[in-house]
Structure formats: structure tokens, C-alpha cells
Amino acid sequence: MESFSPDQTDFGILKLLQKDAHLTYKELAFKLHRSQTPIKERIEKLERNGYIKCYVALVDYRKVPDCMMAYLHIQLNDHSQEALSKFQEGVCNFPEVVDCCNCTGAYDFILKIITRNMNTYNEFLIHKIGKLNNVGSLNSSVVIAQIKHDTAIPF
């Protein structure tokens, strides 16, 4: 990767694209008071340098029939590098895990889980999480209502 340090215009592009990735170069240029060609070049540089990982459609899980969300807090028995790596590799292969964070505090990991219902969540716990060797204790929090959901990094 090239040596790259984003400036205010780059952060302006990122802020706008986080809210609407469909904005054209022309629309971005207008909003940022720049011309189209430099905006295009800056976006390409942001992509090359990993600031923009991909473009996706964010689906509202509440609109999907038979869909529930839970947060699973996991404490591991072994904290060696090998044990942590095996655990991380295991959970990252489960499609139900949509977010995995290694955290400080009482639990080592917090996983955001999406499944069809409580029965499939229970099956996930038993047949997937339960088969991972290093799991010590679990604590589940089932989401009743999602009050705020934003994926944008606040610049």
C-alpha cells in the first residue's frame, strides 16, 4: 500500500458515502465543493488503502420474517494466543455470527447473532458454540427492540 494520510476532503467523502453509497462523483463533488475528477481519484485511493472496504446494502433485520437478534457474551478458559486464534477462527465461520468483538471486562468476546427464532438460536448454542473447545461460560441477551442502529463512523 502507498503511504496515505486522509485529509478533511477524504473524511468528507467517507462521511457522505457512509450515509449514501449511491452518491455519484458529481453529487459528491457538489456537496464537497470540488470537481468530479479529484473526487473520483480520492475515492479510488481510499479504496486502495483500505479505508473503503466494500459497498453493501444494509438490510433491516426487523423486516425479515422469522429473524431474531441476540448478543452472546463468552468467557474462555484458555487465553493463550493459539486458543484465542482457534476460537476466533471457529466463530468467524458461523454465518449466524454477524459481529465478533474481543473485549475487556467479565467476558472475552461479544458476538452479535442473527437466527430465525429461539429454537434455531438454541441449536446454534448447542451444536456450534458448544462444540468449540475453549468456551467457559456464556451469557445471552436477546434483543427485544433495536432502538438505534448506525454503521457510520462519526467523523
Does residue 2 lie within any of the structural domains? Answer: no
Q: In what order do the strands lie in the sheet with 109-115?
A: 97-102, 109-115, 68-76, 135-142
Q: Can you give the CATH number for the domain in which 84 is found?
A: 3.30.70.920
What pLDDT, on a 0 to 100 scale, did the predictor assign at position 115? 97
Lowest average pLDDT, out of 10-14, 107-111, 145-149, goes to: 145-149
**Residues 68, 134 within the same domain:** yes
Please write the tens of the pLDDT for every residue from 20-69.
Answer: 999 999 999 999 999 999 999 999 999 999 999 999 999 988 899 999 99
Does residue 117 lie within any of the structural domains? Answer: yes
Residue-range definition of the domain harbouring residue 26: 8-48
User: Rounded distance, CA 77 to CA 142, Å?
Assistant: 24
Query: Is the pLDDT confidence value at 1 over 70?
Result: no
Contact 129, 74 (CB under 8 A): yes
Query: What's the rounded mean pLDDT across residues 101-124?
Result: 97
Q: Can you give the CATH number for the domain in which 36 is found?
A: 1.10.10.10
What pLDDT, on a 0 to 100 scale, did the predictor assign at position 108? 97
Q: Is 37 helix (H, G, I), strand (E, B) or coil?
A: helix
Query: Is the pLDDT confidence value at 2 over 80?
Result: no
What pLDDT, on a 0 to 100 scale, did the predictor assign at position 3? 86
CA quadruple 67, 149, 96, 58: dihedral sign = positive
**Residues 37, 83 within the same domain:** no
Contact 46, 84 (CB under 8 A): no
